[in-house]
Amino acid sequence: MSEGIYIHGTEPSEQERLAGLNRITNAAFIQFLDVADGSHVLEVGSGLGLLAVDVANAAAGVHVVGVEISAAQIAAAPSHPRVTFVQGDAHSLDFPDARFDLVYARYLLEHVADPERVLREMRRCAKPGGRVAVCENDVSLLRFDPPCPAFDHAWDLFTRFQATLGGDGLIGRRLFRLFRSAGFADVALSVQPEVHWHGSPGYVAWVHNIIGNLGSARNGMLGAGVISEADLNAGVADLDRLKTDTRGSAVFVWNRAMATR
Ligand SMILES: C[S@@+](CC[C@H](N)C(=O)[O-])C[C@H]1O[C@@H](n2cnc3c(N)ncnc32)[C@H](O)[C@@H]1O
């Protein structure tokens, strides 16, 4: 199984970033999923398994299976009596048709070679009348104030680098089209906001998460020569400054889609 497209890797510092991102975003995403008691749920690209465990705890008797390509991520996942993790590729899910009440993926489609195929697989695994949900990135929607031009430059090159790996950090804007191509008739779009400002509870954690995105891709970007070390350091320094700037604020939205099979 190839993990080559995944821009972030699985270094301990990256796993810590992803755990921090889960702390920021899980509650709102679970509200979006609105999982029913007794549901059988599949998470595709389950990473560290933190979201899967929160989903299992969101209602009574919920069972969650997490499919994850990386053995290192599965090894770091917590144990829970109603959550199991299996190693597998989202492009060919090893489950029978119509097995789950709810199938979801979060922060996955931007990292796969063929997102439409992944959605078709997710649809296949959902029961008729079951739901398929995703939450994805469009990194162009990220805004900081006061302006951080060195960061903006590094962020643009980060997005381009991800594209050279075969990923798409802008995929959030394409969700409706992708769902329709994958065979869904009934698709609803929504967003999950990230609005943070100096002194608000999530501000430092959010800025830290964005710095961590650049950190996880640092070796790859420098190795590929897509950015100079000086420019990358200047981008990180912009956001480091913003963390303590009493005027600082950040706005972003995650793109979500929910469909019925
Ligand atoms: C950004 S993490 C998100 C993890 C989790 N969904 C969450 O929200 O915290 C994306 C995960 O997808 C996994 N992944 C990437 N490509 C995959 C594929 N083709 N099949 C299954 N998992 C994949 C990565 O290894 C990584 O753990």
On average, the pLDDT of the chain sits at 97
pLDDT at position 4 is 67
What are the residues whose beta carbons fall under 8 Å from the beta carbon of 43, sequence distance 6 or more? 51, 52, 55, 64, 65, 66, 67, 104, 105, 106
Measured from CB, residues less than 6 Å from any atom of ligand 1 are: 3, 6, 18, 22, 45-47, 51, 67-70, 73, 89-91, 106-108, 111-112
Structure tokens at 253: 């939205």
Q: Looking at ligand 1, which atom is closest to the CA of residue 29? A: 8
Kindly report, residue by residue over 219-239, the tens digit of the pLDDT.
999 999 999 999 999 999 999
pLDDT at position 3 is 65
CA of 151 from ligand 1 middle (Å) equals 25
Tell which one of 1, 6, 51 to mutate to probe ligand 1, the residue whose CB is within 8 A of the most ligand atoms.
Answer: 6
For residue 252, pLDDT beyond 70: yes
CA of 250 from ligand 1 middle (Å) equals 25
CA of 45 from ligand 1 middle (Å) equals 4
Asked if residue 255 lies in contact with residue 138, where contact means CB atoms within 8 angstroms, the answer is yes
CA of 146 from ligand 1 middle (Å) equals 32
Q: Average pLDDT, stretch 242-246? A: 97
Kindly report, residue by residue over 144-191, the tens digit of the pLDDT.
999 999 999 999 999 999 999 999 999 999 999 999 999 999 999 999
CA of 115 from ligand 1 middle (Å) equals 12
Tell which one of 2, 111, 171 to mutate to probe ligand 1, the residue whose CB is within 8 A of the most ligand atoms.
Answer: 111
Q: Average pLDDT, stretch 243-249? A: 97
pLDDT at position 5 is 87
CA of 147 from ligand 1 middle (Å) equals 31
- Which residue, 44, 183, 41, 188, is CA-closest to 120? 183
Tell which one of 69, 104, 119, 135 to mutate to probe ligand 1, the residue whose CB is within 8 A of the most ligand atoms.
Answer: 69
pLDDT at position 1 is 52
SS3 label, residue 44? strand
Residue nearest to atom 10 of ligand 1 (CA): 108
